[in-house]
Amino acid sequence: MRHGQTDWNAQGLIQGRQDIPLNDVGREQALAAAGRLDGLRYSAVVSSPLARAAETARIIAAELGLTSVEFEADLVEQELGAAEGTPWAELEEAFPGGVIPGIEPHARLVERAAAALARIASIHEGGNVVVVSHGALINAITAQAARHRDQQPGPAANGSISELDVLDGRLDLALALITESS
């Protein structure tokens, strides 16, 4: 799932790896997401170490009755380099042609995200795991998982949940964005 809202999300600012905390709306989104996750048994909650994801994960773990959160460094958001802190509405003007110094290449983002999910699946083999991460990473990995299907996953909103299966080390999109925050 994607972390809850931050003030930068509300202001339309590009976060990337800036460590911005959840705001009150984000905390409410995390609680609502935990309610939507009820009904399955979860073996773990694994999170990006960035504050907004970590707090979302802690809220979810508490609501699901899990005592701890595991952290996976490769679940961090895409490095967006010089664009971090820029309003999304001004991105094209600030970086004509989309050339952003210091941005993590898309292929590298997909590679590290897929490797992280495969590690998590291996550690928690056969279990259901809640993974809390970030928009660009989730969008990249759901698009990758859906590429062999006739599906076009939409963008991951704050507090949204996507369902992925890892089968024999391969990602399979069960249903992208099964819920969205309100």
Q: Looking at the annotation, which residues are catalytic? A: 3, 77
What is the distance between the alpha carbons of residues 30 and 20, in angstroms, rounded to a whole number? 16
51, amino acid identity: A
82, amino acid identity: A
Instruction: Give the max Cα distance, the chain.
Output: 48
Q: How many beta carbons lie within 10 A of that of residue 119, not counting itself?
A: 14
Half-sphere CA count of 158, side-chain side, radius 13 A: 23
What is the distance between the alpha carbons of residues 17 and 84, in angstroms, rounded to a whole number? 8
The pair of structure tokens assigned to 1 is 């799932």
What is the distance between the alpha carbons of residues 91 and 81, in angstroms, rounded to a whole number? 12
Burial 61-97 (b: 16+ CB within 10 A, else e): bebbebeebbbbebbbbbbbeebbebeeeeeeeebee
